[in-house]
């Protein structure tokens, strides 16, 4: 069995990609709406919340567990892998490397939650892969909540209001650094325009899950 953890519906996009690759494998999706959003929680609190959720999935027989949340991954994946060495934990991090490879203008942006935007993990990814590339970090404090609540009209207005400040920076690639954002990818594309590539980690995570699951099976 494969387990997926997110604070709501954000990880559903990853679930879809995993089902394409492993259609016959049971998937247990743990939507932790009680603790939504993860993006505003202190790191220590996230450690505790995620540990309990992983324990639940292990009890149900999960062999591979996906932290389908960029915030959860950048804050807690190292801690959780050390605490639960007998289960494979797959994290989701902003797709900065592929964005750096696809940009032609050498200007990229990262849409993310405030915690992910400020994280040391994301900073290291930028330092590693973005030499000679201008990176604009664009945090959204309420966007995940708006998508979770299905307030798509409000979400689109939020993005439009924010993007207008950055659209003249010659940005040609945007990293969707929150799994919730991938659920309205088509809406975001319309706002930023067809010349801007939107890049997320969903398919890459699914491929890693398949690799690990097949090795265990």
130 is catalytic: no
Query: Among 89, 178, 183, 192, which one carries the catalytic annotation?
Result: 178
178 is catalytic: yes
For 191, which DSSP code? H
Q: How far is CA 171 from CA 5, 40, 134, 141, in A?
A: 32, 27, 9, 21
Query: Among 14, 62, 64, 69, which one carries the catalytic annotation?
Result: 69
**Whole-number Å distance between alpha carbons of 98 and 103:** 9
For 63, which DSSP code? S
Q: Return the closest-CA partner of residue 136 out of 147, 154, 122.
A: 122
The answer for 30, left when phi > 0, alpha when psi is -120 to 50, beta otherwise, is beta
- Which amino acids are annotated catalytic? 69, 178
């Amino acid at each position: 069995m494969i387990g997926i953890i997110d604070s709501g519906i954000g990880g559903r996009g990853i679930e879809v990609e995993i089902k394409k690759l492993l259609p016959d494998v049971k998937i247990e999706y743990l939507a932790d709406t009680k603790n939504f959003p993860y993006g505003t929680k202190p790191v220590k609190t996230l450690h505790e919340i995620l540990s309990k959720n992983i324990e639940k999935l292990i009890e149900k027989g999960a062999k591979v567990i996906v932290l389908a949340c960029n915030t959860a991954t950048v804050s807690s994946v190292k801690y959780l892998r050390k605490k639960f060495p007998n289960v494979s934990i797959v994290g989701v991090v902003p797709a900065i490397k592929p964005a750096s490879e696809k940009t032609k203008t050498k200007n990229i942006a990262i849409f993310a939650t405030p915690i992910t935007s400020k994280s040391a993990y994301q900073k290291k990814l930028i330092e590693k892969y973005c030499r000679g590339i201008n990176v604009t970090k664009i945090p959204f404090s309420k966007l995940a909540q708006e998508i979770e609540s299905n307030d798509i009209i409000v979400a689109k207005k939020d993005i439009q209001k924010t993007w207008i400040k950055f659209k003249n920076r010659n940005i040609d690639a945007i990293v969707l650094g929150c799994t919730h954002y991938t659920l309205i990818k088509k809406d975001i594309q319309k706002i930023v325009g067809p010349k801007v590539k939107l890049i997320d980690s969903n398919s890459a995570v699914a491929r890693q899950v398949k690799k690990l699951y097949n090795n265990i099976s």
